[in-house]
């Protein structure tokens, strides 16, 4: 099993990149309906705790003509992996003595109770699909009239 520090690094990367993906989704939705990213709409509606990732994904399915179904499946998987990292962390120790450090410890997969979650494999899978999802969504955003800023342009504007 990975050590806690490795899992924490993986967890932060997965959650932060998923937040970025969700920002692109928000941009697409706002761009579609308002022809610009309207921040009050984004913050008051799309960032409401009841406006879920799944709802935003469904909206995308309705507003993107000729949507790439594989990319939407990958988007679903990105969110599933994010949920594993965000919500699964209860380590169970096999054996009768919880202080026995030689006992095998694992985080149980809530969907398959007979196996442990392999966070290293989940992270690897996430890295393999997240970039493609980001690229696809960024292209959709631009196709809808949105403008992407380069990091250096953003840094210049802030200074």
Residue 103 falls inside a structural domain = no
Average pLDDT over residues 63-81: 95
Residue 150 falls inside a structural domain = no
**Paired strand residues for 144:** none
Residue 105 falls inside a structural domain = no
Looking at residue 112, what is its pLDDT?
60
Residue 65 falls inside a structural domain = yes
Residue 50 falls inside a structural domain = yes
Domain extent at residue 130: 4-88+119-145
Higher pLDDT: 135 or 99? It is: 135
How far apart (Å, rounded) are the C-alpha atoms in residues 60 and 56?
6
Mean pLDDT of the chain: 83
Residue 152 falls inside a structural domain = no
What confidence tens digit (pLDDT) does each residue in 134-156 have? 999 999 999 999 998 876 665 66
According to the per-residue pLDDT averaged within each range, which of 95-99, 117-121, 150-154 is highest? 117-121
Q: Which helix (H) or strand (E) holds 113?
A: strand 112-116
Asked whether residue 69 carries a pLDDT value surpassing 60, the answer given is yes
Contact 71, 136 (CB under 8 A): yes
For residue 128, give both structure tokens: 């393999």
Residue 139 falls inside a structural domain = yes
Q: What is the pTM (predicted TM-score) of this model?
A: 0.80
Higher pLDDT: 5 or 79? It is: 79
Task: Using DSSP, state whether 116 is helix, strand or coil.
Answer: strand
Residue 151 falls inside a structural domain = no
Average pLDDT over residues 58-84: 95
**Paired strand residues for 105:** 93
For residue 147, give both structure tokens: 């403008």
Average pLDDT over residues 117-144: 93
How far apart (Å, rounded) are the C-alpha atoms in residues 32 and 145?
8
Q: Structural domain tally of the chain?
A: 1
Q: Residue 45 carries which DSSP code?
A: I
């Amino acid at each position: 099993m990975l050590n806690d520090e490795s899992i924490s690094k993986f967890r932060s990367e997965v959650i932060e990149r998923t937040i970025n993906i969700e920002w692109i989704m928000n941009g697409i939705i706002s761009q579609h309906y308002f022809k610009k990213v309207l921040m009050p709409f984004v913050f008051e509606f799309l960032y409401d705790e009841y406006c879920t990732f799944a709802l935003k994904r469904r909206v995308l399915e309705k507003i993107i003509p000729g949507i790439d179904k594989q990319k939407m499946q990958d988007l679903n998987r990105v969110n599933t992996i994010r949920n594993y990292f965000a919500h699964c962390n209860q380590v169970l120790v096999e054996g009768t003595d919880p202080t026995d450090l030689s006992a095998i410890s694992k985080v149980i997969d809530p969907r398959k109770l007979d196996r442990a979650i392999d966070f290293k494999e989940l992270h690897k899978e996430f890295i393999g699909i997240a970039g493609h999802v980001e690229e696809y969504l960024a292209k959709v955003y631009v196709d809808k009239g949105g403008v992407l800023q380069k990091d250096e342009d953003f840094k210049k504007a802030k200074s």
